[in-house]
Amino acid sequence: MSIPILIDLHREVRRLFIAGSGLAAGDVRLAKLLPQLQQMGESAPVFKRVAEAVRQLHESDREQSPGKLLDLGVLLHSILYTQGNAAASGEWEEPGRPYAGEANVETFATYRQLRPLIEALTTRGPGRLEVIRQAHEGGLFRDMRTHAAAIAALEDPFGEIVDFMIADVIPAIGAPALPTLRQGLDLQGGKADGRKLQLIQRLSGSAAEEIVLEAVREGSTDVRAAAVELLGDYPEREELILEQSYDRRKEVRRAALQALAQLRTERAGDRLYEALSGKDSDIAVQPILQYEGERLTDQVLRYGDELLDQLRGTKAEAAGDAADKLYTALQALEGKRTEASKAFLKRLLSETKLPAKPTHALREEAALQLLNWNTEDAYVYLHELRARKETMLVSFGLRAAARYLPASEVYEAYEPFLRPGMPTVKELQWVIMQLTKDMADSYLDADQAESGEAWDERWLHRFIELDAKDLVCRFAKRRDKRTETYLLEKLQAAPSWFKQETVETLLTLFRMGHPEAAELTMQAIEQSTAGRLYYVDRAKAVLLAQLPVSCAGRLRDYAEGIAYESVKEQMSGIIERIEAKPDTTTTRTGWIEWIKSKMF
């Protein structure tokens, strides 16, 4: 007997039991099945009875349909029961105890609690990470019914979810996650299976060595790479790791070098140096940074000196390969705090016979590493390099000088490089922007430090002369006619508070104590169409916080025209805070905390 049509019919009957028998009359799906049942009824009496029951139900009215539906359901259930097979296939096996602490497994959560979490772990879309975080914090992953979904999330396309599962969730589940991890591990699988192997080893420790070795021998490229990196936890497998470091697949070689960095033996260091000076230089840098041992550092420094010798006097068109290799070697020295490495950085920066264009990036890297030593002798050396008047060196000199010299000496040393027409102007303006706070940060800083306070006041008029408005805003602190005139002209050119430059200008006028700052702010707000206000960002919130209570009414009138309810609600909260100023003597600190709580 053909069962599929009966299964389809059973599905429709269940649907009608749930939806209500009153929908059966004239049901399209029943009508679609009826001709097939009638045709089959010509050769089998049981199908004839089923077809007749379906016809009667399809033609019944609302009063008759409940009985007809029940009759069809009983008949259909009886047929399917007699045709089914309840025996399970396969051989019976006694369940084992796959992990210690089996008695600690719980199923305490309700379906209402689990459903959003399971959906977040097994579906796609935004907002899922927060659901998973909250579930983790609430201990829901102690419920064993979440384990399969948690393991499945290792294949999620959203990297942050995968990272969170690996770093926090599955380690917190602990040993109870091992059976699902092992069952789901496919040695011929992809990156997700590599992650599963890493978690098995993390939760099992040395007991996982056998499966790790099996993955090294038989796994796919992704699984092999994960397994080879795990070999770094087994020092006795050094020979195998060295063998894998010559594999034809780059992913496996990368993993082997990473494992060698964990071993920290002389043989491991020699292989890492061989990779750096050979074809695997790009994948050797990170392992060398993690390797601890002065012997390897000295090898890299000697290699760097050899390359530096090659570059001296070399023409630009022939310098590319050696410059690239030296740049890679330089990256491998980052964080290697030895006097020899510091001397090498200074030696490289002191060279004047290197081709400029091919070596610009590596000299910039050397200057950055020397700056990050955070020692006075390094600062002094970089500061003195400004004498060569090279833009990159002058910019690092300014960074270094700002860290150890008085503000007046910084100004006197670098003011000549910030005169109109100098080639270093744009670069140094960018450096000073990096070293100072924007207006919103300046107001929100808890210690109330002012932007530009560590800088000489003479810079302000130089920035006006250069028409560097962003820096003028950061450095202007007190009332000054020339500065006020400059800022008011800028405000007149861009009066809408939708523009970030306008908001910063108004904040600067408030900080300078300009008497018309509040009125100018309200004019800028009222000249902007409220319906186009899509959000109140941090800078706008800080600006509104400066307004006095007298502006609250005008702000409320403006807020009425805001199209988005969330923005209108945000504005209402700010207005209420403004209105409360006289009664609660709201302090600047109170405003800071309120803005932070609402904006971040």
pLDDT tens by residue, 421-468: 999 999 999 999 999 987 667 666 644 444 445 899 999 999 999 999
Q: Which of 41-45, 239-243, 347-351, 412-416 has the least mean pLDDT?
A: 41-45
Cα within 13 Å of Cα(494), Cβ side: 14
For the segment 242-250, the average pLDDT, to the nearest whole number, is 96
Q: For residues 219 and 249, give the distance between their C-alpha atoms in angstroms, rounded to a whole number.
A: 13
Highest mean pLDDT out of 21-25, 41-45, 227-231: 227-231
Helix crossing, 339-350 with 356-371: angle to 10°? 140
Let me know: does 350 contact 384? Beta carbons within 8 Å: no
Q: For residues 9 and 38, give the distance between their C-alpha atoms in angstroms, rounded to a whole number.
A: 13
Residue 418 scores a pLDDT above 90: yes
Residue showing tokens 């410059």:
323
pLDDT at position 582 is 56
* Percent above pLDDT 70 for the chain: 90
DSSP 3-state assignment of 524?
helix
Instruction: Specify the length of the chain in residues.
Output: 600
- Name the residue type at position 100: A
Which string of DSSP letters, residue by residue, matches 441-490? HHHH-TT-PPTTTTS-TTHHHHHHHTT-HHHHHHH--S--HHHHHHHHHH
Residue showing tokens 């050397």:
366
Mean of per-residue pLDDT scores for the chain: 88
Helix crossing, 376-384 with 391-404: angle to 10°? 140
pLDDT at position 75 is 87
Q: For residues 509 and 516, give the distance between their C-alpha atoms in angstroms, rounded to a whole number.
A: 8
- Name the residue type at position 411: Y
pLDDT at position 525 is 94
DSSP 3-state assignment of 353?
coil
What does each C-alpha distance from 538 to 89, 460, 570, 572, 597 come to in angstroms? 64, 25, 12, 16, 11
For the segment 168-177, the average pLDDT, to the nearest whole number, is 93
Tens-place pLDDT, residues 575-597: 988 888 754 334 455 555 555 55
Classify residue 414 by its DSSP letter: H
Q: For residues 127 and 158, give the distance between their C-alpha atoms in angstroms, rounded to a whole number.
A: 11
Residue 103 scores a pLDDT above 50: no
Locate 184 and state its tokens. Answer: 């789901």
pLDDT at position 590 is 53
Long-range contacts made by residues 234-239, C-beta under 8 angstroms, separation at least 24? 234/206, 234/209, 235/263, 235/265, 238/263, 238/265, 238/267, 238/268
Q: For residues 440 and 288, give the distance between their C-alpha atoms in angstroms, rounded to a whole number.
A: 41
DSSP 3-state assignment of 149?
helix
For the segment 295-299, the average pLDDT, to the nearest whole number, is 95
Locate 39 and state its tokens. Answer: 């045709």
Let me know: does 457 contact 474? Beta carbons within 8 Å: no
pLDDT at position 76 is 85
Let me know: does 539 contact 440? Beta carbons within 8 Å: yes
φ, ψ dihedrals at 197, nearest 5°: -65, -40
pLDDT at position 595 is 55
Q: Which of 131-140, 397-406, 437-446 has the least mean pLDDT?
A: 437-446
DSSP 3-state assignment of 375?
coil
| Helices vs strands, H then E, count in the chain | 36, 0
pLDDT at position 444 is 63
- Name the residue type at position 84: G
Q: Which of 195, 159, 207, 200 is nearest to 177 (CA)?
A: 200
Task: Note the Cα 120 to chain centre separation in Å.
Answer: 18
pLDDT at position 90 is 64
pLDDT at position 390 is 94
Tens-place pLDDT, residues 259-294: 999 998 999 999 999 999 999 999 999 999 999 889
Going by pLDDT thresholds of 50, 70 and 90, the confidence category of residue 89 is: low
Q: Which of 566, 491, 567 is nearest to 529 (CA)?
A: 567
Residue 508 scores a pLDDT above 70: yes
What pTM was estimated for this model as a whole? 0.72
DSSP 3-state assignment of 265?
coil
Locate 81 and state its tokens. Answer: 């029961």
Q: For residues 386 and 389, give the distance between their C-alpha atoms in angstroms, rounded to a whole number.
A: 5
Residue 221 scores a pLDDT above 80: yes
φ, ψ dihedrals at 126, nearest 5°: -80, 165
Cβ neighbours, 10 Å, residue 349: 20
For the segment 89-118, the average pLDDT, to the nearest whole number, is 66
Helices marked H in 84-157: 111-122, 128-137, 147-152
Let me know: does 501 contact 490? Beta carbons within 8 Å: yes
Long-range contacts made by residues 481-488, C-beta under 8 angstroms, separation at least 24? 483/512, 484/509, 484/512, 484/514
Bridge partners (DSSP) listed for residue 143: 106
